[in-house]
Every structure is written in C-alpha cells, then in structure tokens.
Amino acid sequence: MVTKIHCAHILVEKQSVALEIKAKIAAGESFSKLAQQYSIDVSKKRGGDLGLFGRGVMVKEFEKAAFALEKGQISDIVKTQFGYHIIKRLD
C-alpha cells in the first residue's frame, strides 16, 4: 500500500473556472502553467506542486481523490471547503 504520493493541484473558487481549466488541460495546455496562472493556493509559484504527502494530511475529499490517481493522471474536479481542485499525481 502506498503511504506517500507526490501531487500538484490547481485550486480555484468557482466551479465554472475549474471546468474551463479542465478543458484547457484536455486540449494539451501545461498543468503547471495553468496552476501558475489560475490557482489561488500558494503552491501556484511551484506550478501547483504540493510535494510528497501521506494520508491524514489533506482534507478527506482531496486525499481520497489524490490517492485514487495513477502516476500522471489528472482528477475530476474535487470540491472541498477551500474551493475546487484539479489534482495531478506526479509520482
């Protein structure tokens, strides 16, 4: 069982903006550049990179989605108390 994963994310306040970003990712735009442009999280400076984290660190909805991803996979939009996340598993 994997105990730690490496992810990046894009966090926005509105679902409509998250949907726009998902479309741009699907069209081949860079996840990290979109994170730098749109994310409201401090990780935007690192292209959304959250580094390695284990279970019990992130809020439940985020953790469940992140740990379900395969390396390189991008999540559906995940709603938490902070807003709308798009998560990419890096490793």
Model pLDDT for residues 38-67, shown as the tens digit of each residue: 999 999 999 999 999 999 999 999 999 999
CA distance 79 to 52: 21
The pLDDT value recorded for residue 12 is 98
pLDDT tens by residue, 8-39: 999 999 999 999 999 999 999 999 999 999 99
CATH of region 4-89, choose from 3.10.50.40, 1.20.58.190, 3.30.70.1710, 3.40.640.10: 3.10.50.40
The pLDDT value recorded for residue 1 is 67
Please give the full DSSP string across 53-65, using - where no structure is assigned.
EETTSS-HHHHHH
Q: What is the pTM of this model?
A: 0.96
The pLDDT value recorded for residue 22 is 98
